[in-house]
Amino acid sequence: MKRDESEVQRVQGLFVQHLPAMRGFIGALVADFSVVDDVVQETFMTVTAKAGDFEPGSNFRAWAWAIAKIKILEVSRANSRQSILAADVVEALCARDEAVDWNALDALLIHVRACVETLAPKARLAFELRYKNAHRPPEIARRMNWTANAVHVALSRARVAVRECVERRLGAEGGCGAA
């Protein structure tokens, strides 16, 4: 199908309008910031290429998010270390998209990532093995030469430290729960 330049301009304008929420959505599901940028760019290119398929007056957000979801799943299949969540969780989040403030989530994830970086090296490794690479505690214990109980304790302490750090950062900028 031949692309009409007005259709291209319309979908590109809508994409830019929804870009902060799109980045939040993709950033929530992809672990690496540079990969987030790649997925955003791939989504933009696909939206542009399929501009003629978009029905004016229909839900642009649903259409573009469906394209982004496909791009996220492609990245996830190509390199499982780049995805924070399993494909079925990605599907579930996409189904609940309207209930999620992706702009706020993007900002929150920036704080979480910064706070994870403040963990002690071994705690950070255990945290990343569990929550970035989706390893179970027995596998983490084997990899780190720890007991499973030590992994559970380290992860519990790391979660508390990350949560408290995020709360401090949000409070410092006047967000989420700050009085």
Per residue in 100-116, pLDDT tens?
A: 566 666 677 778 888 98
Per-residue pLDDT of 128-146, as tens digits, reads 888 777 788 999 999 999 9
**Lowest pLDDT segment from 17-31, 54-68, 79-93:** 79-93
SS3 87: helix
Angle (CA) 106 110 112, round 5°: 110
Sign of the C-alpha dihedral computed for residues 17, 20, 24 and 27 taken in this order:
positive
Cα–Cα distance for residue pair 70/10, rounded to 1 Å: 22
The residue-averaged pLDDT of 148-169 equals 89
Question: What is the pLDDT averaged over residues 24-47?
Answer: 83
Please give the pLDDT value at position 122: 95
Which domains, from first to last, does the chain contain? 5-99 (1.10.1740.10), 103-172 (1.10.10.10)
**Most confident residue range from 52-56, 96-100, 111-115:** 52-56
pTM to 2 decimal places: 0.53
Per the CB < 8 A criterion, the answer to whether 56 and 10 are in contact is: yes
